[in-house]
Structure 1
Amino acid sequence: MSIRATAVIATTFILLGSCTGLEKDGSDDIADVNAARLIAANSEPGSWMSHGRTYDEQRFSPLHEIDSDNVAKLGLAWSYDLETQRGVEATSIVVDGVLYATSAWSIVYALDARTGAPLWRYDPGIAREKGKDACCDAVNRGVAVWKGQVFLGALDGRLIALDAKTGAVNWSIATLDPALPYTITGAPRVVKDKVLIGNGGAEYGVRGYISAYNVSDGSLAWRFYTVPTDPSLPFENDAMEMAAETWNGRWWELGGGGGTVWDSMAYDPELDLLYFGVGNGTPWNQELRSPGGGDNLFLSSIVAVKPDTGEYVWHYQTTPGETWDYTATQHIILADMAIDGKIRKVLMQAPKNGFFYVLDRTDGELISAQNYVDITWATHVDMNTGRPVEEPAARYREEPYLVFPSYLGGHNWHPMSFNPSTGLVYIPVLDFPASYGQPENFRYIPGSGNTGTNGIVGSLPDSQADRNAMRALMQGRLLAWDPVEQKEAWHVEHRGPWNGGTLTTAGNLVFQGTADGKFVAFSADTGETLWRFPTQTGVVAAPVTYEIDGEQYVSVNVGWGGAFALVFGEFVQADSLPNVSRVLTFKLGAQGALPPVEWQSKVVFNPPPLNADEDTLRKGYATYQDRCMACHGLNAVSGLLIPDLRGSARLWSDDDWHSVVMAGSLRTNGMPDMSPYINNAESEAVRAYVIQQAHRAADLRDAGEY
């Protein structure tokens, strides 16, 4: 289908504040998306106007010029470098001939969708020290467009409206208290002239909410909190009063309870209901957060509200009293499908806890729930109560417990997709466990990681043989799931976990990028691999497809990153590819090639002598796992995105080490001053522990085992 607003790329750059803009001649209706146009998105299948293409977030495209018969002729049409070495998770928006993408640190790019030529770039100027509040990399999952504006949720909590033609700032507002460790990594959505945005930060101690802002000026329309505050204070609404009955203890003193709305949303225009997913608690461990139990609403829940007012309508809780970081912020898909001879309006989700849920989206009734990965924390979901039947020991009250799936879930943020032609949902599956245990000494520290679990219990084993066995358990696959029959249709095993989101099309195709640097097309009905392209870097983002002048394009943002890459990347894939962040766009018959990439993956281990005693090393081990692991990797095994501490020359000098760790000398590079979270003795103990791990790695390398 032809683009509504054709334009010629100008040839001169102009400076607009912090933006470099390239004007488009001709029509003023660039990014002129509105409710009518988005509801009728299937009438212009060549566009990708919203995060999931349509309000129902199916990520299915009716385009079929590229199909299972000719996809082998797909080639690189153009690429564009995104100038970052951190994770790239954005779904691009493509409308009126322009592709809008984001990279790490919330930088926005507008590119000509035919050629990749830059139109403008907007950098919100995120202070790199803000990265300390981002549990899972300084990522951004994309923008929303509406009536000539581009809306960005920035990492530091600003919601920013940009002029779609120039990138100039129309308005900018703070959606959160900048003194608190909130972040925004999710993509906004726009419903009924309101921009919807949530936030992250539950590990660090915040109270979650979702907000709606008026598109015209950024004024707040409504806010829905996801957990109650101190019950001695007035409740914001009846929903919070109801939720408070499900909590115990003094959760509001431990950072506010958590429950951040950091990703998924969907909207049904006919029912006029907005659906969003809610995350984990603060701390994860319910024994500390809500002693005595309770469901702890609305943690790990899908919530339906009225988009005009934020009025509560219904909820379904996937993991009552969650204690494993089992968020329900994973992708939500809406569809109408025949179940038991009746057309049902359904909502589908495969959250972290390992069950695939089909709900009636009119009222939240549970239709079905089956596990899509092996799980050990529960046996099944009771269809009479809608609640999981738990294994009692899984709550690790008395003894540590090995839980499938891990805190990264059976499915994380990576979008899944639904193909109405095959009736299948295509899920990027993670399949590996984590060990949970009660902490030796829990102390709530505002602004620091507060999982309330035992970091040593959850760490890597000391033995290399045991580490190799653990690595073998860490699997990832593309799973085609039948949501009516609630069973697998087919799957493709990948080299490891943390592979990209999926796109499916009317050409009987599923596209997905992989952690080991490939972009692949599969047959949607059988899973046969039909085409692949080497991307030179891991891929975690989801692709999109669009059409200009009768030609279909497929585009994906590439760049290895995110939580798994930080925590596990080097451990699972010692020869992982570098982060080479780009937009890659393909079409039939194109023959483009990427420039070669120089990459040296090995860290040079040259540690100073190890003189610390066992007590110091034990303290350093525990402190590292609690305060450093999320950025620098389990057991000081680097996740590849941040310098490997085991190879740091600063290990040789007390002064150099403490200037970074306790005085923040590298805060402008993203390494915060840790003095609010650890003391000098703990800092020195961490240094000793890292030196120990560097010696371990050096010995293994000398023996040819690393």
Structure 2
Amino acid sequence: MRDSVRLACVVACASMSLATGQGWTAAPAPATGSAQVDAKRIIDADREPGSWMSTGRTYDEQRFSPLAKITTRNVKDLGLAWSYRLDVDRATEATPIVVDGVMYVTGAFSILSALDPVTGAELWKFDPKVSRDKGRDGCCDVANRGVAVWKGKVFLGAYDGRLIALDSKSGKPLWVTDTTPDKTRSYTVTGAPRVVNGKVIIGNGGAELGVRGFVAAYDTDTGKQLWKFFTVPGDPRYPPESEAMKRAKATWTGDNFWKFGGGGTVWDSMAYDPDLDLLYIGVGNGSPWNRKLRSPDGGDNLFLSSIVALKANTGEYVWHYQTTPGDTWDYTATQHIILAELTIKGQPRKVLMQAPKNGFFYVIDRASGKLLGADKFAKATWASHVDLKTGRPVENPEADWANVKEPQLVYPGPIGAHNWQPMSFSPLTRLVYIPSNEAPALYTPNNEQRFTGRGAWHLGMPPVDLPEDAKTLKDVLGLFKGSLLAWDPVAQREVWRQPYPYINNGGVLSTAGGLVFQGTADGRFLAYSADKGSRLWDVAANTGVIAAPISYEIGGEQYVTVAAGWGGGAPLVLGAVSSSGDVGSEARVLTYKLGGKATLPAPRPRPTALPEPPALTADAAMIDKGRALYNGHCGMCHGPSTVGSSVLPDLRYLTPDKHQIFAGILAGAFAPQGMPSFMDVLTAPDVDAIHQYIIKRAHDLKKERAEEATR
């Protein structure tokens, strides 16, 4: 009954707040910086709505704020209260925590700042000193999505796999545990930890680069590992670690998958039901993506692309639902999980909701795992529908790209119809607000790929290779669009939609003031009416905003905060959006309040002058070789076919001095700045070929600009 009581309280108190113009009175808080958060305090979070004590605010991860001083009537008066410059201008994805008078927020390379939430003044900072060349081990930049707090400690998952407990008042480390001890594999940690029953829980990433996924729980006092749940089977020469792994092994075929690691990383979403004492985890894609290469004789490949319910105290398997059996498209189920109580067919149901990459919105009974509903919320050509009797999707045979000869254009592609950016559920409107994408991909199989070691991508398909001529590239990028979607999870239908010209827009916050807040890829921060989607407020953030906002209250004043800045996605997204939207990467925490008068510095000008490129000396064969090598080794960071982003350097703009030391750069000269050595996989002729291809692309851009100037 907790959900019913909570909903009634939220509705009643929010209505009172809207009527009086006053917010809730927060419960007395412990001393500043004490972070004395425990299970009772998170469960009773609505009794102190001025705080934001967990990444989703509450264990149900609804990302709804009961605060209502900022309303549809006065949101136009929101102004910047303060801003805080983060250390590194890339991969800004964190949800801040605000509790006991302190804001905790992370940036790139897992650097954590403790701030005064009223003024933005820095109280302390902790840099875990992640090696700057560790970025090669990750798929999607050196991001961190936030921290957890518990009984005076702040828990940080560092990008290199360390779980670090810090004193909440001073930022001094209390203990450190290495959660990914196998350094022969490319494990990374980007997700926010959760704390349940005195256990801090964290997963990891790296499926594209060949790891075996798992989630583990650690003692909050000592850092000792208490349990570990593997999500895919391991080396068949050894006994399975659990009954769950024994069951999973029967759904994999061949003897190749374990050499690739298998994938199935738990790199983001979790939720917890205190009544059932169940922890829900979202499991990612396979390694490699190509299921014919991974599991040649078929099989569902449990627990890839699944939601799995575990006993929180032991990590024991309870149930699972697989959104994409035998996934071959990178359709992770790591996207945001929300728990709620809905009335379905006249009956109250405790449900779990998810809108994963594959384009279907799922409503699942969270006690049993029974599927209650699944309908498309975005364009999805890989399957016609989900059979509610079997719970399985009905696949389009032509979308099975690993088993057909011609490349297949499939919606959605690996960017997904919804990626990691959190959605939100409002118990007032009963709607879910989803940052949605329309983002296809052309899949082409490489059924001969073999595992080649740490730091290498293993997809079972060639690297992304964008068209090089400007007109064709523009047409291709025109296929990619974004939107903010309001979805009725009971009727399984769209209620309203706000379209965007770009994908990869920010996470979402809904509030009792009748508002929905979201940042955008082209550098804006917006507020909409939650019921109809009317745009009510629009300010420039001077950078792309992809993280999720929060709201908190101190001294009777309501604030809205978002971590703003580019990074954390495929360069196809970054390059297309940052170039078209003309926004750079400037990582900041932005905080707004009614009547705020602060201003942002002018945007840092983006370089437009094209340095004169060196002479092109390669023949066509060498250029073709360089293009293949570039897209295979460089394109995932600097952009396919050198269509760069505003985060990392667009290599077409290399200055003469950089051209002169190009070989040294690939040999590790800039490793301290985050550019690792590639000489373990490249030869000197390879480096020359890549360099000549980049020079060729610089000449292409010079020619395009000359032609534009004559039009």
TM-score by length of 2: 0.93
Which residue identity lines up with residue 224 of structure 2 in the other structure?
A: S
Return the offset for 1:2: 5.6
Return the offset for 1:465: 2.1
**Distance of 2:647 and 2:469 partners within structure 1:** 25
Return the offset for 1:299: 0.7
Matched-pair contact (CA < 8 Å) for 1:3–1:549: no
Is 2:411 the partner of 1:407?
A: no
Match of 1:589 in 2: 595
**Distance of 1:166 and 1:702 partners within structure 2:** 57
Which residue identity lines up with residue 541 of structure 2 in the other structure?
A: T
Count of equivalent residues: 683
Is 2:583 the partner of 1:556?
A: no
Matched-pair contact (CA < 8 Å) for 1:3–1:97: no
Match of 2:283 in 1: 278
**Distance of 1:6 and 1:419 partners within structure 2:** 26
Matched-pair contact (CA < 8 Å) for 2:78–2:594: yes
Q: Sort the Cα spacing of 1:217 and 1:497 in 2 relative to 1 into closer, same or farther, 3 A.
A: same
Return the offset for 1:117: 1.4
Matched-pair contact (CA < 8 Å) for 1:110–1:121: yes
Gap runs ≥5 in structure 2: 1-23
Q: 1:640 aligns with which of 646, 651, 661?
A: 646
Q: Sort the Cα spacing of 1:580 and 1:450 in 2 relative to 1 into closer, same or farther, 3 A.
A: closer
Return the offset for 1:310: 0.2
Matched-pair contact (CA < 8 Å) for 2:219–2:226: yes
Match of 1:540 in 2: 546
Which is worse superposed, 41-50 or 466-475?
466-475
**Distance of 2:294 and 2:539 partners within structure 1:** 47
Q: Secondary structure at the match of 1:611?
A: coil
1:156-235 to structure 2, matched below 5 A, reads 156-177=160-181, 178-235=183-240
TM-score by length of 1: 0.94
Q: 1:675 aligns with which of 660, 679, 686?
A: 679
Q: 2:442 aligns with which of 435, 438, 453?
A: 435
Give the % identical residues: 53
Match of 1:30 in 2: 34
Match of 1:505 in 2: 511
Q: Write the deviation string for residues 160-194 of structure 1: whole angstroms up to 9, x where unpaired.
A: 00000110111111001234211101000000000
Return the offset for 1:28: 7.3
Which residue identity lines up with residue 683 of structure 2 in the other structure?
A: N
Q: 1:63 aligns with which of 67, 72, 78?
A: 67
Q: Sort the Cα spacing of 1:400 and 1:167 in 2 relative to 1 into closer, same or farther, 3 A.
A: same
Q: Secondary structure at the match of 1:703?
A: helix
Q: Secondary structure at the match of 2:562?
A: strand
Q: Secondary structure at the match of 2:708?
A: coil
Match of 2:49 in 1: 45
**Distance of 1:191 and 1:251 partners within structure 2:** 36
Match of 2:6 in 1: none
Q: Write the deviation string for residues 508-527 of structure 1: whole angstroms up to 9, x where unpaired.
A: 10000111111111000000
Matched-pair contact (CA < 8 Å) for 2:148–2:155: yes
Matched-pair contact (CA < 8 Å) for 2:140–2:569: yes
**Distance of 1:367 and 1:553 partners within structure 2:** 37
Q: Secondary structure at the match of 2:558?
A: strand
Is 2:634 the partner of 1:628?
A: yes
Q: 1:446 aligns with which of 444, 453, 458?
A: 453
Match of 1:426 in 2: 433
Matched-pair contact (CA < 8 Å) for 1:90–1:101: yes
**Distance of 2:535 and 2:446 partners within structure 1:** 45
Is 2:584 the partner of 1:578?
A: yes
Deviating above 6 A after TM superposition, structure 1's stretches of 4 or more consecutive aligned residues are: none
Match of 1:295 in 2: 300
Matched-pair contact (CA < 8 Å) for 2:644–2:650: yes
Q: Sort the Cα spacing of 1:3 and 1:346 in 2 relative to 1 into closer, same or farther, 3 A.
A: closer
Q: Sort the Cα spacing of 1:444 and 1:612 in 2 relative to 1 into closer, same or farther, 3 A.
A: farther
**Distance of 1:424 and 1:308 partners within structure 2:** 32
Match of 2:139 in 1: 135
**Distance of 1:605 and 1:469 partners within structure 2:** 27
Q: Secondary structure at the match of 1:668?
A: helix
Return the offset for 1:6: 6.7
Return the offset for 1:577: 1.2
Matched-pair contact (CA < 8 Å) for 2:75–2:537: yes
**Distance of 2:546 and 2:698 partners within structure 1:** 29
Matched-pair contact (CA < 8 Å) for 1:608–1:651: no
Return the offset for 1:651: 9.1
Match of 1:616 in 2: 622
Match of 2:154 in 1: 150
Return the offset for 1:613: 2.7
Q: Secondary structure at the match of 2:244?
A: helix
**Distance of 2:449 and 2:692 partners within structure 1:** 22
Q: Sort the Cα spacing of 1:244 and 1:440 in 2 relative to 1 into closer, same or farther, 3 A.
A: closer
Match of 1:384 in 2: 389
Q: Write the deviation string for residues 178-217 of structure 1: whole angstroms up to 9, x where unpaired.
A: 3421110100000000000000111111111001000001
Matched-pair contact (CA < 8 Å) for 2:91–2:143: yes
Matched-pair contact (CA < 8 Å) for 1:48–1:546: yes
Which residue identity lines up with residue 599 of structure 2 in the other structure?
A: A
Cα RMSD, aligned residues only: 1.8
Match of 1:600 in 2: 606
Is 2:84 the partner of 1:77?
A: no
Matched-pair contact (CA < 8 Å) for 2:614–2:656: no
Match of 1:360 in 2: 365
Matched-pair contact (CA < 8 Å) for 1:557–1:582: yes
Which is worse superposed, 337-346 or 434-443?
434-443
**Distance of 2:447 and 2:46 partners within structure 1:** 56
Return the offset for 1:441: 5.5
Matched-pair contact (CA < 8 Å) for 2:263–2:287: yes
Which is worse superposed, 439-448 or 36-45?
439-448
Matched-pair contact (CA < 8 Å) for 1:415–1:542: yes
Q: Sort the Cα spacing of 1:605 and 1:634 in 2 relative to 1 into closer, same or farther, 3 A.
A: farther
Matched-pair contact (CA < 8 Å) for 1:416–1:427: yes
**Distance of 1:291 and 1:698 partners within structure 2:** 47
Matched-pair contact (CA < 8 Å) for 1:2–1:547: no
Return the offset for 1:126: 0.9
Return the offset for 1:467: 1.3
Return the offset for 1:602: 2.3
Q: Sort the Cα spacing of 1:361 and 1:440 in 2 relative to 1 into closer, same or farther, 3 A.
A: closer
Match of 1:14 in 2: none
**Distance of 2:645 and 2:461 partners within structure 1:** 21
Q: 1:464 aligns with which of 461, 465, 470?
A: 470
Is 2:462 the partner of 1:455?
A: yes
**Distance of 1:4 and 1:98 partners within structure 2:** 16
Gap runs ≥5 in structure 1: 8-26
**Distance of 2:628 and 2:293 partners within structure 1:** 19
**Distance of 1:230 and 1:118 partners within structure 2:** 48
**Distance of 1:454 and 1:696 partners within structure 2:** 27
Which is worse superposed, 633-642 or 590-599?
590-599
Matched-pair contact (CA < 8 Å) for 1:316–1:364: yes
**Distance of 2:482 and 2:298 partners within structure 1:** 33
Q: Secondary structure at the match of 1:697?
A: helix
Return the offset for 1:669: 1.2
Q: Secondary structure at the match of 2:260?
A: coil
Return the offset for 1:608: 2.2
**Distance of 2:112 and 2:556 partners within structure 1:** 27
Q: Write the deviation string for residues 258-311 of structure 1: whole angstroms up to 9, x where unpaired.
A: 111000000000011000101111111111111111111111110000010000
Matched-pair contact (CA < 8 Å) for 1:285–1:451: no
**Distance of 1:687 and 1:367 partners within structure 2:** 54
Q: Secondary structure at the match of 2:154?
A: strand
**Distance of 1:331 and 1:351 partners within structure 2:** 8
**Distance of 1:563 and 1:48 partners within structure 2:** 26
Matched-pair contact (CA < 8 Å) for 2:485–2:497: yes
